[in-house]
Amino acid sequence: MTKFPLENLRVINFGWVWAAPVLGHTLGDMGAQVIKIETRKRPDVIRFLPPSIHEDYPLESLYAANTFRDLLGVTLDLTTDKGQELARDMVRSADVVIENFTPGTVKRYGLDYDAVKSLRPDVIMISLSAAGQDGPSAKIATYGNIISCLGGLDVHQGYIGDSRPTTYGTSIPDPMMGILGAFAVLSALRYRARTGKGQYIDLSQWEACATTLGGPIMDYVFNGRIQYPKGNRDDLMAPHGVYRCKGKDNWVTIAVKTEDEWRGLCDAMERPDLADDERFGDTYSRQTNHDEMDGIITRWTSTLTHRQVTRQLQRAGIAAFPALSAKEAFDDPHFNARGDWVEMDHPLGKEVIYGIPWKLSKTPGGIQRPATMMGQYNRFVYGEILGRTEAEIDAMEADKVLY
C-alpha cells in the first residue's frame, strides 16, 4: 500500500507568502507533485525575512525552510511572453492550480480561471485572496497578521479589561487558510472524480476567519452585543486559567468542568474545605469569584513546577498542562514521539523542520524533499516534465525568462 495517497496529482502553485505554500505542501506531503513558480524579479517575501538558514544565502529563510518543503521550485517571469507560454504548458498538465495574488493580477498573465479552463477543462483552480474576488474591498493589500485583525481574531485575544489592543507575535490565520484551501480543493477533486467537472474556488481569508467566530457573531446577531477578550477564562468552565508556578516564566493551565473535578482540585490543594465553600459552590459562583479563587490556586501552584501540578491533577482526571516554553515544546518527548519535528538534509546543511501535523494510520505521507531553493528544479520541470531541451532552457535562462 502506498504511503502517499495523492501521488497521482499535479499541482501548479503560483502562490506565495505563507498560506499558499502551506496549501501546496499539504498536498505535496501526501505525494502530490507541486510545482512552485517564483521570480527573482520580486522574490517571495517569505524567502528573505531574516534569519536565513545560511548567511551566504539570504533568500533561503527559515520560513522557507519549513513551508517550502515538498515543493518543486522553478523560476519564471510571468510578465514575459515566453514565460506565459511556459505557464500555459504547465497548466495544461495540471490537476490543481493555486494562486493568491491581488484579484485581477492573474488575468494580466493570461492565467485567470477562464483562460486556465480553456487549457485544461477539468482543472480545479483556487484563489486564496484576502477578501475574495469581488466586492468593494476585494483588492485590499494585506498579510496574514492583517487578516487576523480584519477577521476578528485579534479583537478576541487579550487580557481582561486591557484598553490597549494586543496582536499576536505572528500571523495566526495563514497556515489554517492553507489547510482550509486544501480541504476545498480535495472536496472539488472528489466531485471531479464523480462527474469529470473541474471548478473555481474563491476563498476569502477574511470571511474564513469570521467563520471561526460563531459565538461573538451570534451574540451580535441575537443581542447586538460586542464581545471582548476573556483572557484565559471560559464561559462553561471555572476555574479556567494559567497559574504561576515555581521557576522563571513557569505556568500551568488548569481547566475544571465538573463538580467532581473541582472537588479533585480542592483535594489536590489540600483544601477540602473549599469544596463546601459557597463562594465556589458551582461553576457560576466560581466564575463570579474567579479572582479570589485564582489567588488561592496560585498560592498552591507557586510552590510546585508546572510538571508537578500537571502530573498530580491529570491523575485526578483534571485538565492541567504546562504552558510549555518554545524550548520545552521542541524538546518534549510527546511531540518528538509523534513526529512533529523532523530532521532533514537541506542542501545548505542539516535542519529540523515541522513534520506532518496529522497522523493517518495507513497512508501517513511524509516529507520527501527539503525546502526548494530558488529555481532548484528548473531543469527537472522544464526539461523532464515540459520537454524543453537543455539548449532551450539555457537560452530562457539567458533571456531572463527563467529568472
Partner 1 sequence: MPDRALEGLKVVEFGSFISAPFCGKLLADLGAEVIKIEPPKIGDEARRFGPFPGDVPNLEKSGFFIYLNGNKYGVTLDPSTATGFDIFTSLIADADVLVENQQPGVLKGLGLDYDTLSKLNPRLVMTSVTTFGRTGPYRNYKGYDLTAWQGSGVAHRYVGEPDREPLRGSWYHADHWSAVSAAAATMIALAARDLTGEGQLVDISETDILTTHIMGYQIVTLYHLTGEHGARTGANAPRTGAPVGMYACKDGYIFIMPLELHHWHGLVRAMGSPDWATDPIFDVPSHERVEYADEIDELMAPWFAERTKEEVFAALQAERVPCGPLYNAGDIVEHEHMIARGFLAEAEHPVLGPVRVPGKPYVLSETPWSLVRSAPTLGQHNQLIYGGRLGFSNVDLTDLRRTGII
Interface with partner 1 in residues 111-170 (CB under 8 A): 113, 131-132, 134-138, 140-143, 145-159, 164-170
Given candidates 22, 37, 97, 266, which one binds partner 1 under the rule CB under 8 A?
22
Q: How far apart are CA 374 and CA 354, in angstroms?
A: 20
Task: Report, in Å, the least distance between residue 273 CB and partner 1.
Answer: 25
Cell 476567519 -> residue: 209
What residues contact 191, with CB distance under 8 A and at least 6 apart? 197, 199
Q: How buried is 175 (Cβ within 10 angstroms: 0-12 exposed, 13-18 middle, 19+ buried)?
A: buried
C-beta of 141 vs 391, nearer to partner 1 = 141
Span 31-70, contacts to partner 1 by CB under 8 A: 45, 49-51, 53, 61-63, 65-67
Interaction between residue 12 and partner 1 (CB under 8 A): no
- By CB under 8 A, residue 328 contacts partner 1: yes
Nearer CB in complex with partner 1: 34/180? 180
CA distance 122 to 104: 22
Sign of CA dihedral 65, 71, 75, 81: negative
Do residues 165 and 229 make contact, with C-beta atoms less than 8 angstroms apart?
A: no
Nearer to partner 1, 179 or 269 (CB): 179
Based on the shown chain and the rule CB under 8 A, indicate whether residue 18 belongs to the binding site for partner 1.
yes
Residue 14 CA, chain-centre distance (Å), reads: 18
The interface with partner 1 within residues 184-203 (CB under 8 A) comprises 184, 186-191, 193-195, 197-203
User: Residue 174 Cβ, how far from partner 1 at the closest point, in Å?
Assistant: 8
C-alpha cell at 272: 477540602
Q: Which is nearer to partner 1, 134 or 259 (CB)?
A: 134
Query: Binding to partner 1 (CB under 8 A): which residues in 283-312?
Result: 310
- Check residue 71 for interaction with partner 1 (CB under 8 A): no
Nearest to 398 by CA among 56, 43, 82, 55: 82
Quick check: 247 binds partner 1 (CB under 8 A)?
no
| Residue among 229, 168, 178 nearest 208 (CA) | 178
Q: How far is the CB of 36 from partner 1 (least distance, A)?
A: 16
260 vs 184: CA distance, rounded Å: 42
82-90, 175-183, 271-279, 393-401 -> range binding partner 1 (CB under 8 A): 175-183
Query: Does residue number 238 form part of the binding site for partner 1 (CB under 8 A)?
Result: no
**100 binds partner 1, rule: CB under 8 A:** no
Out of 108, 276, 358, 368, which residue is the one contacting partner 1 (CB under 8 A)?
Answer: 358
Of 75, 66, 89, 70, whose CA–CA distance to 31 is shortest?
A: 70
What SS3 class is residue 174?
helix
Question: Given the rule CB under 8 A, which of 92-100, 268-276, 284-292, 334-342 is the region that contacts partner 1?
Answer: 334-342
According to the binding rule CB under 8 A, does residue 325 interact with partner 1?
Answer: yes
Question: Least distance from C-beta 81 to partner 1, angstroms?
Answer: 25
| H/E element, 150 | helix 144-150
Least distance to partner 1, CB of residue 324, Å? 5
Bond before 322 cis per omega within 30 degrees:
no
The least distance separating partner 1 from the CB of residue 20, rounded to whole angstroms, comes to 14
Q: Cα–Cα distance between 53 and 33 in angstroms, integer?
A: 25
Positions of E strands within 118-210: 124-129, 199-204
- Binding of partner 1 by 248 (CB under 8 A): no
Number of chain positions touching partner 1 (CB under 8 A): 152
- Dihedral of the CA atoms 337, 34, 182, 48 (nearest 10)? 80
